[in-house]
């Protein structure tokens, strides 16, 4: 049965701002307090989606979260009317207030871990919603994420949905940003590669010292168990702790894979030789590792340009394209590596470059923005058609953004008492455009 890889890109939310909430994400903290442009951010993302759709790639849309998250503020003891809750939170703890206005759900690589039916024991596509327990502003996403995923992939005939793992560091889970599937062709059985930053229940095991490890071995193992993955189809490897301490907060900042290709930095993994050997053994003939030496691109360069926070896509006519942000072309050494990669005669033979500056300033590149889902023909037919990008949907979403999004979001603008109602109005319309049904709590008072 024919299968395709679909990339579901996160639609940037109306409250996109630079609050610097993500410790360990260098771009996020360095740009704290900068003035954001939500409209431009959303349109940049939509332009990337449309360009890939026009090139023949399967493209979908992932809806943002409702922000501010008033329910969370009420759980934290802020009471009264909606306006009173927001005013009290802003007054008493600006960090908490800003966290509940974060638009970080745009990075759907963190939404869930996905195993295709070709790999799972029951022959269904499995989704495990990530708990994102390391950062408060992201830990509140998973209830809405779960509802959105169920609206996108409804029913239990073809799809299995799993709740987030326990929200504790020992089971810290950041989703597909630390997961890659390798296979000879899309739709065939393959190997799932889980990369973790620490061993949650072993304080003596190696771990970063400066920044937190966001994915634990225990979380990755739990996901593999409940997705029904065999040991022959799973590889677990530890990320290099030194790289995490240099700003590589997810594996997808320093490595990306697709089909039978792994594109990575020399310093991506703690035990480089053992990791490469196990992947080659389990993936078999045809598996290729394209490794960039540190002498050519430093970890700092990788973090600054997001060379590896890229997408690898099988082109309809053959070959593999790499999708990178404009920052890669702006950096002479990284740009030269891209040119050599494309000209090398290897599997990656084209570079596609996009302006994603609004997302990049908050620490998210092309790979962060998308969740990969492999679907065979029956599974694709069962998927909600409202979330699959078409020229008409792209035009409708651009019009929707133009009518509902602001072109400026400074820190002070988050205090605007009209903002919550404006967001709800926008998202209410979006649920109809994407045919999602009731996935948001809404319930604003007058």
Phi, psi of 95 (to 5 degrees): -65, -45
Predicted pLDDT of residue 445: 66
Predicted pLDDT of residue 101: 98
Active-site entry in 5, 40, 141, 174: 174
Residue 174 is among the residues annotated as catalytic for this protein: yes
Phi, psi of 127 (to 5 degrees): -120, 125
Average pLDDT across each block of 10 residues of the chain; the chain has 446 residues. List them in order. Answer: 94 97 87 96 98 98 97 96 96 98 98 98 98 97 98 98 97 98 97 98 94 97 98 97 97 98 98 98 97 97 97 94 98 97 96 97 96 98 98 98 98 97 97 97 68
Residue 92 is among the residues annotated as catalytic for this protein: no
- Quote the Cα angle for 254-373-222, to 5°: 70
Percentage of the chain beyond pLDDT 90 is 96
Tell me: the pLDDT tens digits for 386-403?
999 999 999 999 999 999
Active-site entry in 264, 328, 368, 424: 368
Task: Indicate the pTM of the whole model.
Answer: 0.97
Residue 368 is among the residues annotated as catalytic for this protein: yes
CA distance 243 to 43: 32
Predicted pLDDT of residue 1: 67
Predicted pLDDT of residue 27: 81
Output the CATH code of domain 3-67+102-433: 3.75.10.20
């Amino acid at each position: 049965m024919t299968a395709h890889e679909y990339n579901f890109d996160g639609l940037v939310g109306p409250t996109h701002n630079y609050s610097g909430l993500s410790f360990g994400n260098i771009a996020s903290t360095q740009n704290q307090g900068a003035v954001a442009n939500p409209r431009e951010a959303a349109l940049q993302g939509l332009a990337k989606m449309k360009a890939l759709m026009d090139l023949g790639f399967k493209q979908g849309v992932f809806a943002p979260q409702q922000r501010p998250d008033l329910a969370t503020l009420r759980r934290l003891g802020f009471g009264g009317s909606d306006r009173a809750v927001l005013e009290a939170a802003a007054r008493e703890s600006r960090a908490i207030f800003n966290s509940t206005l974060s638009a970080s759900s745009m990075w759907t690589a963190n939404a869930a871990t996905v195993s295709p039916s070709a790999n799972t024991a029951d022959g269904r596509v499995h989704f495990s919603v990530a708990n994102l327990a390391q950062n408060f502003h992201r830990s509140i996403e998973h209830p809405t994420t779960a509802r959105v995923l169920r609206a996108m992939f409804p029913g239990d005939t073809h799809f299995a949905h799993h709740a987030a793992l326990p929200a504790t560091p020992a089971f810290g889970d950041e989703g597909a940003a630390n997961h890659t599937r390798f296979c000879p062709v899309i739709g065939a059985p393959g190997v799932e590669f889980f990369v973790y930053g620490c061993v949650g229940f072993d304080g003596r095991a190696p771990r970063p010292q400066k920044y937190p490890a966001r994915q634990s071995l225990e979380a990755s193992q739990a996901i593999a168990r409940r997705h029904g993955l065999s040991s022959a189809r799973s590889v677990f490897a530890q990320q290099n702790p030194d790289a995490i301490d240099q700003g590589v907060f997810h594996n997808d900042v320093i490595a990306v894979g697709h089909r039978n290709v792994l594109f990575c930095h020399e310093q991506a993994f703690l035990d480089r030789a053992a990791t490469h050997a196990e992947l080659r053994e389990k993936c078999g003939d045809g598996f290729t590792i394209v490794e960039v030496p540190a002498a050519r691109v430093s970890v700092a360069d990788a973090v600054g340009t997001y060379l590896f926070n890229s997408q690898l896509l099988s082109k309809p006519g053959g070959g593999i394209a790499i999708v990178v942000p404009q920052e890669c072309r702006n950096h002479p050494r990284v740009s030269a590596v891209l040119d050599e990669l494309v000209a090398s005669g290897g599997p990656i033979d084209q570079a596609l470059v996009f302006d994603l500056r609004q997302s990049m300033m908050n620490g998210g590149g092309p790979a962060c923005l998308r969740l990969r889902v492999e679907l065979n023909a029956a599974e694709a037919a069962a998927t909600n058609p409202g979330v699959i990008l078409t020229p008409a949907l792209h035009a409708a979403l651009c019009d929707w953004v133009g009518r509902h999004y602001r072109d400026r979001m400074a820190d002070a603008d988050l205090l605007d008492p009209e903002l919550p109602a404006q967001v709800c109005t926008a998202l209410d319309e979006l649920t109809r455009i994407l045919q999602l049904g009731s996935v948001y709590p809404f319930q604003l008072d007058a």
